[in-house]
C-alpha cells in the first residue's frame, strides 16, 4: 500500500466464517488509539459466553474472559462415597503460530486456560441424596468439603455459585495445571455436567512489528479422561476434541498530511535572493524545508519518483534548453520513528530505491516531520550561470510505502 503526499489507505477486513461444533473463534484487534499512543496491545473482541456472560461483574473485576461449549460429560456409573471428581485444565502456557494469509508473515501467540466451570445435574435432589430437607444443606453435605462454589486447592474461588434442588452452577479459577478434586460424601447414582465453561488468557506479539491484515492459527485440545480437559475417569464427554481458532486483526494507520501549498517547493538561498540582488553575492546552495504531519503505527519505507531522472537522483531543468541539475532530498522523522537500526531519522537521504523500513516504537499521531530539498554549491553555481532568466522545474514525488 503506497502513500503519496496526504493519501490515506484503509485496510478492509473480511468477516470470518462462523465457527461450528466445538470449534470456537478467539478474535483480538489492534487499532492505534490517538489518546493512548503508548498502548500497543491487542484488545480481546471475543464475546463472552457462559460464566462471564452471566456474571460480568465478577469477570470484569478479574479481567477474565470465558467461553461456553455445548459439551456434556456424563458419569459412566454411580459415584460412591469417598470417590472424587477431579477437574484439570491446560493451565500452562502453550504456543501456536498465526499467519498473515496475504504476506505469509508468521507470529507466535501464547494461550493458557485459567478457569473451568459448568452446571451439573444430579439424578435426584441433593437434599434427598443426603437425607435432609434443606436444599442448601443438601449441597453442602453431599461433598466432603462443602458445596461447589468453594474450589478445592489448587483451584481458587471465583466469586459466585448458583444452585437449584438437583443442580449446581460453579466456576473455579485454575492458576496451575493440576487436578482439583471434589470428593463425594454420599452415593450419587448418576450426574452430568451439561456444558463446559473455561476462561483463558492470551499473550500476543507486538502489533507495531506486524503488517496490516488477519493473522490466523489454531490450537487443538482433547477432552475426556487423561486428556487436556479432564474431569476424571468417571465423566465421559460426548465430544473428545476442541479447536480454538485464533484471529489477530491488525488495522494500522499510515497517514501523511501536507499543509496547503506544501506541494509547491521553491528552492532559494539562505535568507532569500536579496543578498545577490543587492550585493552581487552568489548563493552557495539552494534549499527548502517542507514540513508534514505523519500518523504511523506500522513500519514503512520511502522513495522518490522523478519527472527529471538524472540517474543518480531527481532533478529540475530548463524546459527550453533541457539543461538541469540534481536536487538532493532527505527526510527527518519525529520522535517515535526510527531507522532499521533503531536510530533517530535525521536528514536520511531518499532516492528512487526504497529505503530500509522505518519502525515505530509507539503509535505516532500527527507528529511533524520534515522533507529537505537542497542543491549543492556546484549545482547551484552552474544553474545560476546558465539560467538565462528562465525557471528550472521538475516534479519530485515522495512516496510513503507501507508494503514492506
Could you read off the pLDDT of 13-62 as tens digits, one per residue? 223 333 345 899 999 999 998 888 888 899 999 999 998 898 888 888 77
* CB within 8 Å of 307: residues ≥ 6 apart: 314, 394, 395, 396
pTM above 0.75, yes or no: yes
* Residue 96, H or E segment: strand 94-100
pLDDT, tens digit only, all 404 positions of the chain: 444 432 222 222 223 333 345 899 999 999 998 888 888 899 999 999 998 898 888 888 777 889 999 999 999 999 999 999 999 999 999 999 999 999 999 999 999 999 999 999 999 999 999 999 999 999 999 999 899 999 999 999 988 889 999 999 999 999 999 999 999 999 999 999 999 999 999 999 999 989 999 999 999 999 999 999 999 999 999 999 999 999 999 999 999 999 999 999 999 888 777 777 666 677 888 999 999 999 999 999 999 999 998 877 899 988 887 778 899 999 999 999 999 899 999 999 999 988 889 999 899 999 999 999 999 888 888 888 877 778 889 999 999 998 76
Cis upstream peptide for 154 (omega within 30°): yes
Q: What is the DSSP letter of 82?
A: T
With beta carbons less than 8 A apart as the criterion, state whether 95 and 102 touch: no
pLDDT given at position 279: 63
DSSP letter string over 183-241?
Answer: EBSS-BS-EEE--EEEEEEEE---GGGS-SEEEEEEEEEEBSTTSSBB--TTEEES--E
Residue 168, phi then psi, degrees to nearest 5: -150, 125
* CB within 8 Å of 216: residues ≥ 6 apart: 16, 98, 99, 101, 245, 246, 247, 248
Residue boundaries of the structural domains of the chain: 19-250, 254-401
Q: How far apart are CA 307 and CA 344, in angstroms?
A: 30
pLDDT given at position 319: 82
CA 160-166-167 angle, 5° bins: 30
* Strand pairing category for 359-360 and 314-317: unpaired
Nearest to 100 by CA among 17, 213, 206, 16: 213
Q: 173 in helix, strand or coil?
A: strand
Amino acid at each position: 500500500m503506497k502513500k503519496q503526499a496526504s493519501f490515506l489507505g484503509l485496510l478492509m477486513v473480511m468477516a470470518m466464517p462462523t465457527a461450528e461444533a466445538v470449534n470456537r473463534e478467539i478474535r483480538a484487534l489492534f487499532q492505534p488509539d490517538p489518546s493512548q499512543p503508548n498502548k500497543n496491545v491487542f484488545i480481546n473482541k471475543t464475546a463472552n459466553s457462559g460464566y462471564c456472560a452471566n456474571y460480568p461483574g465478577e469477570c470484569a473485576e478479574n479481567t477474565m474472559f470465558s467461553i461456553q461449549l455445548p459439551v456434556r460429560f456424563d458419569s459412566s456409573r454411580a459415584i460412591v462415597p469417598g470417590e472424587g471428581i477431579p477437574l484439570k485444565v491446560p493451565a500452562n502456557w502453550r504456543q501456536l503460530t498465526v499467519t498473515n494469509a496475504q504476506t505469509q508473515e508468521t507470529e507466535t501467540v501464547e494461550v493458557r486456560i485459567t478457569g473451568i466451570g459448568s452446571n451439573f445435574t444430579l439424578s435426584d435432589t441433593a437434599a434427598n441424596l443426603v437425607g435432609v430437607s434443606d436444599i442448601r444443606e443438601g449441597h453442602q453435605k453431599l461433598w466432603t468439603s462443602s458445596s461447589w462454589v468453594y474450589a478445592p486447592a489448587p483451584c481458587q474461588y471465583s466469586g459466585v455459585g448458583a444452585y437449584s434442588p438437583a443442580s449446581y452452577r460453579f466456576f473455579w479459577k485454575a492458576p496451575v495445571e493440576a487436578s482439583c478434586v471434589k470428593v463425594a460424601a454420599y452415593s450419587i447414582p448418576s450426574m452430568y455436567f451439561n456444558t463446559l465453561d473455561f476462561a483463558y488468557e492470551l499473550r500476543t506479539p507486538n502489533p507495531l512489528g506486524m503488517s496490516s491484515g488477519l493473522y490466523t492459527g489454531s490450537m487443538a485440545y482433547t477432552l475426556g479422561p487423561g486428556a487436556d480437559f479432564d474431569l476424571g475417569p468417571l465423566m465421559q464427554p460426548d465430544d473428545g476434541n476442541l479447536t480454538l481458532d485464533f484471529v489477530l486483526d491488525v488495522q494500522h494507520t499510515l497517514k501523511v498530511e501536507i499543509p496547503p501549498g506544501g506541494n509547491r517547493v521553491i528552492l532559494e538561498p539562505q535568507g532569500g535572493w536579496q543578498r545577490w540582488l543587492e550585493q552581487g553575492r552568489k548563493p552557495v546552495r539552494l534549499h527548502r524545508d517542507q514540513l508534514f504531519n505523519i500518523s504511523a503505527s506500522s513500519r514503512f519505507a520511502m522513495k522518490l519518483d522523478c519527472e527529471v531522472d538524472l540517474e543518480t537522483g531527481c532533478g529540475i531543468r530548463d524546459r527550453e534548453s533541457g539543461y538541469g541539475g540534481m536536487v538532493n532530498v532527505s527526510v527527518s522523522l519525529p520522535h517515535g520513528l526510527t531507522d532499521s537500526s533503531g536510530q533517530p531519522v535525521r536528514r536520511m537521504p531518499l532516492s528512487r530505491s526504497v529505503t530500509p523500513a522505518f519502525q515505530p516504537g509507539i503509535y505516532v499521531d500527527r507528529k511533524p516531520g520534515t522533507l529537505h530539498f537542497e542543491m549543492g554549491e556546484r549545482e547551484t553555481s552552474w544553474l545560476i550561470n546558465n539560467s538565462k532568466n528562465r525557471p528550472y522545474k521538475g516534479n519530485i514525488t515522495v512516496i510513503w510505502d507501507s508494503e514492506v
